[in-house]
Structure 1
Amino acid sequence: MTNATLGVRLPKSAHTEQPWRIHELTTDFELEDVWSLPTPGGPGDFPLLLQLLEKADAYDNPGFVERIMLGIRWKLGAMLGWDGDEDGIGHRVTSLRDRLPQDLREGPRGPNPPNAPFEPVYLTDDESVDEYANKTMHLIGHTGWVRTPDGGYHGQMAVYVKPNGRMGALYMAAIKPFRYYLVYPAMMRRIAADWRRLKEQTA
């Protein structure tokens, strides 16, 4: 995979063929999205990607597209009562942490940006996992560090979802075009710019 093919949607096999721990923990979730991240680097750069995620300002200073889409989403959620505490992790659904084997449970939990709605689950040398739940679904976010056939490395993002009944399934279907054509492309541009700056600062 070259730099030109980073920041693009990948087949699900690009995730499932990796020897990650997440597979054994999400058998009842649907693998919804897999994307390469525009973060070319070396074998030891996964901590740098975690640093980027920890300091990401998408929730404090989102770009125009993200700001519009997040604004619509949170207003809609407020109107329909999707995001109450009673529908979150530890209430409507149990945390993925309840499924962790002892080594993952006792290990680090990973990045936890202060204003992000996600809760960290576990961290390994090449995986970072977080989760979020509301009335419509339970979502698992996975970030990994992968080696490509040409010897390079980059980040890879996957999203698992468990919709909450028919309402959740309809919600996920309704937002899919917005995710693919607006949210993810804007996110990839932001990550690419943040990664370039971070690499320059650490060079």
Structure 2
Amino acid sequence: MRLPATAYTSRPWRIHEIAGDFRVEDVWALPTPGGPDDLARLVRQFAGGDGPGGFTPLTRALFAIRWKLGKLLRWDEADAGLGGRVPSLRDRLPADLREGTRGPDRGQFTSVYQTHDEWAAEIANKTMQGVMHIGWVPDGAGGYRGQMTVLVKPNGLLGAVYMLGIRPFRYLGVYPAMLRAIGRKWQASEPTTL
């Protein structure tokens, strides 16, 4: 379920300290019911996840087209990404987050930090710099669930046009398939006992 931006902005997340110059693109409730300590389980699921392989054929095709276009138009070259065109958000971390758990990298995403109730990972290319923020929040019924926020900083006119152009694909294909895949995998996995 898509949520209003206030579901992200109203919470005292640590990400606010380092990503205030990013805009909230999307906020989604994840179908991951659990207890107060289950964020680490969700992060492990993301890190070991199927990525586009867990999605529909249409979604896999959209990802394949995007990566082909990126290669053709040179959007994803190393000098266009983290440490090239833009510095990593890790450079902005306060000491306690920098010295804490970093969390796993996931595909094209590089982990920034992980706490008990947050995980942030970033990506950058010629079109934008983005952050996937996964928070663990009370569900209003005595339990907890994941909440995914997508933060972006478009790179000029190219980035603004790119973000506008991919919006219908995200809402009609990518997010619905991704949320279903996350829910199926969550339900199929066993909670970790510490």
TM-score, normalised relative to structure 2: 0.95
In structure 2, the residue matched to 1:127 is 118
Matched, 1:195 2:186: yes
Specify the SS of the correspondent of 2:134.
strand
Residue equivalent to 2:174? 183
Q: Are 1:83 and 2:60 an aligned pair?
A: no
**Cα distance in 2, alignment partners of residues 146 and 31 from structure 1:** 18
How far the C-alpha of 1:199 sits from its partner, in A, is: 3.0
1:170 aligns to 2:190 (yes or no): no
Deviation (angstroms), 1:112: 2.0
Identity %: 53
C-alpha change, 1:200 and 1:104, in structure 2 (3 Å) is: closer
CA RMSD of aligned residues (A): 1.5
Alpha-carbon deviation of 1:99? 0.4
SS at match of 2:121: strand
Alignment of 1:28 with 2:44, yes or no, is: no
CA contact (8 A) 1:34 1:159 kept: yes
Once residues 90 and 141 of structure 2 are traced to their aligned partners in structure 1, the CA distance between those partners, rounded to angstroms, is 35
AA partner of residue 172 (structure 2): Y
**Structure 2 counterpart of 1:19, from 5, 9, 12:** 12
Question: Offset at 1:148?
Answer: 2.2
The two structures have a TM-score, normalised by structure 1, of 0.91
Whether 1:47 and 2:40 are equivalent positions in the alignment is yes
Task: Tell me the distance in 1 between the aligned counterparts of 2:191 and 2:132.
Answer: 27
Q: Secondary structure at the match of 2:190?
A: helix
Quote how far apart the aligned CAs of 1:19 are: 1.3
For residue 49 of structure 2, the aligned residue among 56, 67, 71 is 56
Aligned residue number for residue 157 of structure 1? 148
Secondary structure in 1 aligned to 2:51?
A: coil
Task: Verify the 8 A CA contact 1:65 1:186 in the aligned structure 2.
Answer: no
